[in-house]
Amino acid sequence: MRLKTLLMFTAPSAVLMLVFIFVPLISVAVQSLFSTTLVREQVKVETCTPGFLAQVCTTAERSQVVLRADGKPVTRTVFTGLDSYRSVLEVEKLAAAFASGGQGWTAVAGLDFWRALRFTLTFTFITLPLVVGLGMLIALAVNNMLRSVRGPLVFISLLPFIVTPVIGALSIRWLFVGDGILTALLRATIDPSISMFAQGWTIELLMLVYRVWHVAPFAFIVFYAGLQTVDQDTLESAVIDGASRFERLRFVVIPHLMPLIVFVALIHMMDAYRVFEEVVGFAAEAHVISLQWLTFNFLTPDFTGNRSISRASASSMLTMVGIVLLLIPLLVRVWRDHKPRS
């Protein structure tokens, strides 16, 4: 292909990437280095609010926001360097935890960023093999079914993937929260004192189960498509050579599907690292939070209407760095596979 043709084909996507990914990324990076604050003045004012029978008026010092002539608040933006990152990472407290006399890992469990990172990483790495494994299992099972029942089976297997994530998470929560029907069942069969939302580990367990249930169909449909392209001649010659069912899977099918496995793993890791719906849907903030939820929490206006833009930017930059680090091994593999053989 001539260079000019190549450029013309890729230009639209390159422009969109530039406008919608690259520019916002730079903007977030810049915002994480600056901090914008409101300018205030101390004034003595009288404030009146309703009392039960008569109005209550109090005069007190009040830090009032200074407004410009057009009614907009006066703000001041200063370069703060890596302060936002330091504040998100809570570097000093982390150092104190591991200094002599510190409490080590127990103290780290109380630092938001680090406990979010802990959960996000375990969540990603536990769901990854389960999603790939379960997806493969369903794909092989469906592929071995009679041709006439495959269609309906594919449809049914795909259903969990179609459910909107937040709705799915809420449904699971309602099944298990309080004396929800599944908790009631667990109480009747295992232990009458079970409460699924009373401690962190049971909530995490539900999150893992939910995510695997939700995403396995995606892995399944990709692998199922791949299975249709396995070379039947190779399989037949393997049978003639006396290869068992497992050996055929191990030496013919899996190597053939390897690029797809890498693809599913890549997509799943990117998705799982940004875990968010589960935390909101399960109302799990007290016990379990994720990195994406942390960013969201910084961005939510607090009771003064303020959003912590700098810290939210720092936190999302850190999330992005995390994803890139996680993906490097897989990307290196893809790169090696696609390099023209010399």
d(CA 55, CA 44): 19
Nearer to another protein, 40 or 250 (CB): 40
Taking CB atoms within 8 Å and a gap of at least 24, the contacts of 7-11 are: none
d(CA 295, CA 313): 8
Min dist CB 45 to another protein, Å, is 4
Nearer to another protein, 177 or 266 (CB): 177
208, two tokens: 């893992």
Residue recorded with tokens 């290869």: 243
Min dist CB 274 to another protein, Å, is 21
d(CA 252, CA 312): 48
Which residue stretches of 71-199 are H helix?
Answer: 83-89, 91-98, 105-108, 112-143, 147-162, 165-176, 181-189
Residue recorded with tokens 């935890």: 97
Min dist CB 133 to another protein, Å, is 31
Nearer to another protein, 19 or 109 (CB): 109
Nearer to another protein, 21 or 188 (CB): 188
Nearer to another protein, 23 or 109 (CB): 109
Min dist CB 273 to another protein, Å, is 23
Nearer to another protein, 12 or 51 (CB): 51
Using DSSP, state whether 180 is helix, strand or coil: coil
Handedness of CA 225, 226, 227, 228 (dihedral sign): positive
Min dist CB 248 to another protein, Å, is 49
Nearer to another protein, 54 or 240 (CB): 54
Let me know if 93 is exposed, middle or buried by CB neighbors in 10 A (0-12, 13-18, 19+). middle
Nearer to another protein, 52 or 246 (CB): 52
Min dist CB 79 to another protein, Å, is 15
Residue 80 contacts residue 34 (beta carbons within 8 Å):
yes
Closest Cα to residue 157, out of 176, 177, 134? Answer: 134
Min dist CB 159 to another protein, Å, is 22
Helix (H) or strand (E) holding 64: strand 56-65
Site residues for another protein per CB under 8 A: 35, 37-40, 43, 45-57, 61-63, 65, 67, 71-73, 76, 87, 107, 109-110, 112, 115, 177-178, 195-200, 282-287, 297, 300-306, 308, 310-311
Using DSSP, state whether 58 is helix, strand or coil: strand
Residue 228 contacts residue 147 (beta carbons within 8 Å):
no
Min dist CB 62 to another protein, Å, is 6
